[in-house]
Amino acid sequence: MARFVRRDPAPAAQRPVIGVLCCNEVADRPIQAVASRFIEPLSRISGATVLLVPALVEVADVTALAGRLDGLLLTGSRSDVEPHHYGGRAVPESCADPQRDRVALALAERMIESGRPVFGICRGLQEINVLFGGSLRRDLGEEHHRAGEMPFDALFEHRHDVTLTPDGLLGGVAQEGRIRVNSVHREGIDRLGDGLTIEARSPEDGLVEAISARPCGAEVLAVQWHPEWNGARTATDRRFFERIGAALHPAAFGETDGFVCHPRGH
């Protein structure tokens, strides 16, 4: 028979818990999926415990999750946000994940209203922009996305320049405020959501590459590129996960200064 050893009570200061949203994919059968590379930097750099959140409307209890999570990361994905969420027309060739859309928008809204930090990478940036009333575009060209088939790793080798906003949340890590980022996305921001601040742009065509906000006392930050690729080894990529760690500190969850927060604008 196994012996159970009594352990001392857990220390008062626990690692904060961040939810990481999954996607609906098929690998011989329907599965919940999230790339491991999103998770590792959250533990190593952000100092967080990761809880995977299913992108299943009937399973993900948004109210309960928002009450238990200290923060939320909306990851990148192979799928696109369905255009009806921002008044756009359906695109026949788009790869949709309607349940991911619904869970991401509802949970992010509840977290923000509760004064909890929310972060986004690639699709996550697009979801946050839509949540704040913005819209998306698909006519980005090869500067941001390479068409055609190629090895998976090669997709992330496609890079371009990004100009960081002076004194922004991601600034101060590159000479002259310009960095090179990977670019693996079909869609991008068209109309910026209400209340969002631009943290970075592409100098070539002005496409918004990073956004932030603090509507209810906690940080909202998202980037269009993939800082988690290759383990967040560059200074700017590491800065993104350091910002997550700082926002997850318990001191960040104080009063919301009386704000009534409605990211969707209703």
Structure confidence by residue, pLDDT tens digits, 88-128: 887 665 689 999 999 999 999 999 999 999 999 999 999 99
What is the C-alpha to C-alpha distance for residues 74 and 107, in angstroms, rounded to an integer?
10
CATH number of 17-139+187-252: 3.40.50.880
Write out the two tokens for 250: 């318990």
Mean pLDDT by groups of 10 residues along the chain of 266 residues: 51 82 94 95 96 97 96 94 90 81 98 97 97 89 52 64 90 75 84 97 92 95 92 87 89 43 61
Q: Which residues are identified as catalytic?
A: 122, 226, 228
CB burial of 37-67 (b: ≥16 within 10 Å; e: otherwise) equals bbbebbeebbbbebeebbbeeeebebeebbe
**pLDDT given for residue 15 in this prediction:** 93
What is the C-alpha to C-alpha distance for residues 192 and 138, in angstroms, rounded to an integer?
15
Write out the two tokens for 74: 């909306």
List, in order, residues 6 or more apart from 143 with CB less than 8 Å away. Answer: 160, 183, 202, 204, 205
Residue type, 127: E
pTM recorded for the entire structure:
0.86
Q: Taking a C-beta distance cutoff of 8 angstroms, is the pair 59, 249 a contact?
A: no
**pLDDT given for residue 234 in this prediction:** 85
**pLDDT given for residue 160 in this prediction:** 79
**pLDDT given for residue 198 in this prediction:** 97
Classify strands 17-21 and 71-74 as parallel, antiparallel or unpaired.
parallel
